[in-house]
């Protein structure tokens, strides 16, 4: 497990030469890379969403493409198309920017639903179909999308089917006073500080080995049941119209295995599940209309669910304590 931990710390330390804070997002990006997931990063303008994605791509050394999404971007602009070659009299496939290891889809909610849906096959199947021809995408393949939650004009909210394809979603908040002071110090000393300063710190062989290690992380049946209980509870919450899907359960399982490996363990604990419940589940929930207009949000619902569902061992301990209080068990 040490190798996986070292990879994570190497990525985090290298990214910290440009970034300040956002450790949870860096952890999530590493988890997604190791498990074949995708990450959605949301935040107001100026909180370094794209910088985080670009820095991570450079630190991994993987081939990457940044796509600036706008309403006039067409599906073929992402996936590619067939072009006629007059010299040969034949049609030739021209691959789009999605044929890379890391796709940085900047401001994905500015693309039209038709263009957003062009990423569905790529994110789920790892393939792209261009006019009847299905082509495999490179492996690994990771989509890191950003979106701005405060501007409504010229934006298109991601449909649930699209959100469900993202294994993890993180909200990048404004920095604290100390963090912002550190940012000013860095840019005062180096006005040209940017992701271009980030150096590759891992190799493809190390990445492939780390993914194999994550696959072998042990998950006890009680922890699996804990995951099922958490996801099931989202479907029964009174504020929820549509709860998380089985894809959320799978995403939480694989992400928890990766987090355990990042922290040097070959087994998953309930704390791994708790730590990833919000970024894995919250964006997959659809609230009831009355809850949307009330003081309720998806992240708050997940907090309530985590609070209400007992992790493995807690219920047994409570039963034992109750038995002692009642004078012991019958013999």
Could you tell me which of 108, 236, 133 has the C-alpha nearest to residue 123? Answer: 108
Cα–chain center distance at 26: 10
* Per-residue pLDDT band at 287 (split at 50, 70, 90): very high
Mean pLDDT check: name the lowest of 44-58, 226-240, 281-295, 306-320.
306-320
- Answer for the pair 135, 30: CB distance below 8 angstroms, yes or no: no
Mean pLDDT check: name the lowest of 30-34, 63-67, 159-163.
159-163
- Phi, psi angles (nearest 5°) of residue 254: -65, -35
* Per-residue pLDDT band at 157 (split at 50, 70, 90): confident
Average pLDDT score over residue span 174-193: 92
Say what the pLDDT of residue 148 is. 87
User: What is the distance between the alpha carbons of residues 177 and 192, in angstroms, rounded to a whole number?
Assistant: 22
- Answer for the pair 261, 1: CB distance below 8 angstroms, yes or no: yes
Say what the pLDDT of residue 295 is. 81
* H/E stretch holding 298: helix 298-308
* Per-residue pLDDT band at 25 (split at 50, 70, 90): very high
User: What is the distance between the alpha carbons of residues 138 and 122, in angstroms, rounded to a whole number?
Assistant: 10
- Phi, psi angles (nearest 5°) of residue 135: -120, 140
Could you tell me which of 7, 77, 6, 21 has the C-alpha nearest to residue 51? Answer: 21
Say what the pLDDT of residue 292 is. 80
Task: Kindly report, residue by residue over 124-152, the tens digit of the pLDDT.
Answer: 899 998 888 899 999 999 999 999 887 76
- Answer for the pair 107, 145: CB distance below 8 angstroms, yes or no: no
- Answer for the pair 163, 117: CB distance below 8 angstroms, yes or no: no
Mean pLDDT of the chain: 89
- Answer for the pair 111, 156: CB distance below 8 angstroms, yes or no: yes
* Per-residue pLDDT band at 154 (split at 50, 70, 90): low
Task: Kindly report, residue by residue over 33-82, the tens digit of the pLDDT.
Answer: 999 999 999 998 889 898 999 999 999 999 999 999 999 999 999 999 98
* Per-residue pLDDT band at 161 (split at 50, 70, 90): confident
Question: Can you read off the two tokens belonging to residue 22?
Answer: 């956002």
Say what the pLDDT of residue 322 is. 43
* Per-residue pLDDT band at 172 (split at 50, 70, 90): very high
* H/E stretch holding 160: helix 160-163
| Domains of the chain with CATH codes | 1-215 (3.40.50.300), 217-319 (1.10.8.80)
Say what the pLDDT of residue 330 is. 41
pLDDT of 319 over the 90 cut:
no
CA-to-CA separations, 199 to 20, 62, 240, 330, in angstroms, rounded? 17, 11, 44, 66
Q: Helices 204-215 and 2-15, interaxial angle, to 10°?
A: 130
pLDDT of 264 over the 80 cut:
yes
pLDDT of 317 over the 60 cut:
no
Say what the pLDDT of residue 132 is. 84
Say what the pLDDT of residue 2 is. 53
Q: CB pairs under 8 A, 24+ apart, for 171-176?
A: 171/42, 171/43, 171/299, 172/22, 172/25, 172/41, 172/42, 172/43, 172/47, 172/48, 172/49, 172/52, 173/43, 173/47, 174/44, 174/47, 175/20, 175/21, 175/47, 176/21
User: What is the distance between the alpha carbons of residues 269 and 315, in angstroms, rounded to a whole number?
Assistant: 16
Task: Kindly report, residue by residue over 86-135, the tens digit of the pLDDT.
Answer: 888 888 889 999 999 999 999 999 999 888 888 888 998 999 988 888 99
Could you tell me which of 59, 36, 57, 164 has the C-alpha nearest to residue 106? Answer: 57
pLDDT of 327 over the 60 cut:
no
Say what the pLDDT of residue 324 is. 44
């Amino acid at each position: 497990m040490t190798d996986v931990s070292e990879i994570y710390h190497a990525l985090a330390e290298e990214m910290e030469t440009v970034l300040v804070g956002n450790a949870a997002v860096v952890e999530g990006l590493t988890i997604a890379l190791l498990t074949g997931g995708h990450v959605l990063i949301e935040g107001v303008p100026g909180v370094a969403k794209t910088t985080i994605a670009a820095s991570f791509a450079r630190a991994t050394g993987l081939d990457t493409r940044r796509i600036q999404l706008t309403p006039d971007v067409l599906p073929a602009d992402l996936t590619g198309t067939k072009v006629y070659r007059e010299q040969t009299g034949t049609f030739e496939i021209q691959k789009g920017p999605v044929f890379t290891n890391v796709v940085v889809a900047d401001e994905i909610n500015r693309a039209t639903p038709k263009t957003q849906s062009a990423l569905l096959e790529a994110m789920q199947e790892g393939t792209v179909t261009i006019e009847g021809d299905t082509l495999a995408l490179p492996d690994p393949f990771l989509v890191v999308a950003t979106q701005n939650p405060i501007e409504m004009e010229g934006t298109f909210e991601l449909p649930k089917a699209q959100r469900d394809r993202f294994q993890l979603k993180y909200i990048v908040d404004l920095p604290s006073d100390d963090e912002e002071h550190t940012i000013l110090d860095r840019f005062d000393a180096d006005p040209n500080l940017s992701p271009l300063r980030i150096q590759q710190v891992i190799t493809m062989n190390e990445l492939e080995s780390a993914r194999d290690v994550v696959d072998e992380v042990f998950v006890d049946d009680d922890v699996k049941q804990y995951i099922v209980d958490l996801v099931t509870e989202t479907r029964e919450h009174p504020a929820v119209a549509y709860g998380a899907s089985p894809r959320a359960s799978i995403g939480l399982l694989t992400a928890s295995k990766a987090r355990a490996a990042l922290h040097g363990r070959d087994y998953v604990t309930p704390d791994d599940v708790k730590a990833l419940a919000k970024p894995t589940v919250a964006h997959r929930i659809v609230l009831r209309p009355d809850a949307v207009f009330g003081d309720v949000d998806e992240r708050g619902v997940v907090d309530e669910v985590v609070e209400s569902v007992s992790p493995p061992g807690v219920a047994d301990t409570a039963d034992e304590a109750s038995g002692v209080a009642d004078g012991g068990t019958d013999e």
